[in-house]
Amino acid sequence: MSALVGIVYDHEASGRLQDEGRRMMQALEPYPADDQGAWNDGTVFLGCHAQWITPQSVGERLPLYRDEARLAITADAILDNRDELFQQLQIEAGRREQITDSELILDAYMKWGTDTPKFLLGDFAFLIWDRKNHSLFGARDIFGSRTLYYHRNPERAAFCTTISPLFAIPGVKTELDEVWLAQYLAIPTMLDNTDIHTTAYKHINQIPASHSFVMRSGRIELTRYGTLVPETRLRLPSNEDYEEAFRDVFEKAVACRLRTHRKVGATLSGGLDSGLVAGTAAKLLRREGRPLHAFSTIPAPDFVDWTSASRMADERPFIQETVGFVGNITENYLDFPDLSPFSEVDDWLDVLQAPYKNFENSHWIKGIYEEASRQGVGILLTGAAGNFSISWGSAAEYYVHLLRKLRWVRFYRELKPYSKNMRMGRLNLIKRLGKYAFFRPTHRSIGQMDIASMIHPDFAEKTNVYEMLKDQDIGLESNVSMVNERESFFHNLAVQNMRGASCTKLSLRHSVWERDPSSDARVVRFCLSLPLDQFVQNGYDRSLIRRAAKPYLPDKVRLNQRTRGVQGADWLHRMLPAWGMFTGELRELSKDTGASAYLNIAAIDQALARIGDAPRPEQAFDSDVRFLMRSLIAFRFIKRLHATEGGETYEKRVAGSYIGSP
């Protein structure tokens, strides 16, 4: 809902504090805001660049100071367990409808102190100045859905939702963290880094997801306050009981995310996750007389679908089935004919303030936010984490698990209906699954990945990055168990940091909050507590969601496991008109003395030679093409960072960059 600012000195610094706070708040002005507020007491400055999303936030003035408790708070928060907190904090009935989430957090701090984040559910980052104890307390939510960065020197620390305002402070330089960059370039998967504390900038750190901190006497002490590991395993008498329990916890997760005085939107594909989110939301909103505004992407008008029979680039037939079955959904089909991942690189670098690897869908993700904002949407629902929570359960992975555990009876019982559903011979399936279970290597080195490493060999040697990454979880395990893979996704804080950065900065730029019921802590803990056979049954993968979604999704969508959507299939087709500009810029790399020291120039030249004059649209997921696009994004980031590194004034940098329209 907001961007927050905090500065803490270890001594009286009223003049400097005012100036630095003003500079940071001014740096946030390009973002849309409903209000701006500031508070300071000579050693502490708190600021808030507020976006009013929930009904309770309308008219809220932050920062908030309670004189009787000697506490001040600034917050970027939407809480999802308000009813539970009302009971625990004994909030009187007459106050419950109007009380803001920031006030609830402050009430919680007065009761539980530094244990407060353990009792909060939702998306949040906040700072609380405890005047009595002369300490600053802050936290990020368990998924890291909201970001919190900081810079510190011997006399003060400064905090902010985004990175750029920290450079508004005199003396804070935009220096590249070469160790961070080395990891980013060397890791061939989507992960950007394994260090959960650092950023791409040498003097800027971040509070990690699921962490709180206390700053006192110039020292910052970090604490991981919680995990998503369920306390107990759930055992219920029947499938029907599991389905009912799932629907109950999931409907609550959706319902609490509809709290806005603006319109409610949702991304909607032809699949299970977004379909269940949209179906549940539309039915709940109907009771309030409000429609759900669905945003669906479709290929460019001149795109010729090259995907196989088991894939689909245009998911409209399945989307329309969902819309017709559920009702109360206003459809928006968006093709963004003038956008491509290449055209949006600079904009994404401005938004993220860091390089990125997931570019195939970048044009339509940005486009959906823009269209949702234009239509007055305040909450944009997604099912982004669904593959690891509500719709988790690969049949192939489960059957491999059964083979490894030598559970032959269960394996053969499952194989027959799966063979029928997939129209594949059982003998062929047994050969494939057996090979995967017993003969595939358990670990791949970075050099064994299908996409080349972006890092220059000399830079890799200088930073010793491969040794640094040797024992880290960077997604190279090829034969890891299905259970470990899922738990790794939710427990790997580097992954959560990366996801949170995108959500926070896009929502702040467009004043549209992305909210994902599939990553609700209650939903995730519920799913992690279930027996494996709830997720694969009777020849169906993702069995639990298919069974539980019967009231919300049509059978054509709910039971489909032969066709999958490929939403990024047309990204290369969109880029072809600018292919000459794209390759020309890559060839400039070898002449750029700054970037060429970091990037793998030889691999770039080889990839360009293999592709030739122009690729075909069906090469969208070719490793060479993806490698080149990632390299160009890294090149642009390095080039623009070097242009401001080491001395250009903050005012000149702001004048030359674009953050977003008010």
CA-based nearest residue to 589, from 579, 603, 575, 571: 603
For helices 579-588 and 601-611, give the axis angle rounded to 10 degrees.
150
Q: Are 607 and 587 in contact (CB under 8 A)?
A: no
Separation between Cα atoms, residue 628 and residue 624, nearest integer Å = 6
pLDDT value of position 224: 97
Residue 426: count of CB within 10 angstroms of its CB: 13
Q: Are 116 and 108 in contact (CB under 8 A)?
A: yes
Per-residue pLDDT reduced to its tens digit, 582-615: 999 999 988 898 899 999 999 999 999 999 989 9
Residue type, 327: G
pLDDT value of position 29: 95
Contacts of 140 (CB under 8 A, 6+ apart): 124, 125, 146, 147, 148, 207, 208, 209, 210, 211, 212, 500
Helix and strand element counts for the chain (H, E): 25, 19
Q: Are 276 and 549 in contact (CB under 8 A)?
A: yes
CA-based nearest residue to 477, from 438, 449, 439: 449
Per-residue pLDDT reduced to its tens digit, 520-577: 999 999 999 999 999 999 989 999 999 999 999 999 999 998 899 988 899 999 999 9
Per-residue pLDDT reduced to its tens digit, 429-447: 887 777 777 765 554 444 4
Separation between Cα atoms, residue 71 and residue 4, nearest integer Å = 16
Separation between Cα atoms, residue 431 and residue 389, nearest integer Å = 29
Residue with tokens 């030679």: 609
CA-based nearest residue to 139, from 172, 113, 110: 113
Q: How confident is the model at residue 380 (pLDDT cuts 50, 70, 90)?
A: very high
Q: Are 571 and 365 in contact (CB under 8 A)?
A: no
Q: Token pair for residue 612?
A: 């030739």
Run of H or E including 8: strand 2-9
CA-based nearest residue to 77, from 127, 31, 25: 127
Run of H or E including 272: helix 272-286
Separation between Cα atoms, residue 122 and residue 82, nearest integer Å = 10
Per-residue pLDDT reduced to its tens digit, 35-94: 999 999 999 999 999 999 999 999 999 999 999 999 999 999 999 999 999 999 999 999
Q: Are 381 and 373 in contact (CB under 8 A)?
A: no
Separation between Cα atoms, residue 349 and residue 233, nearest integer Å = 43
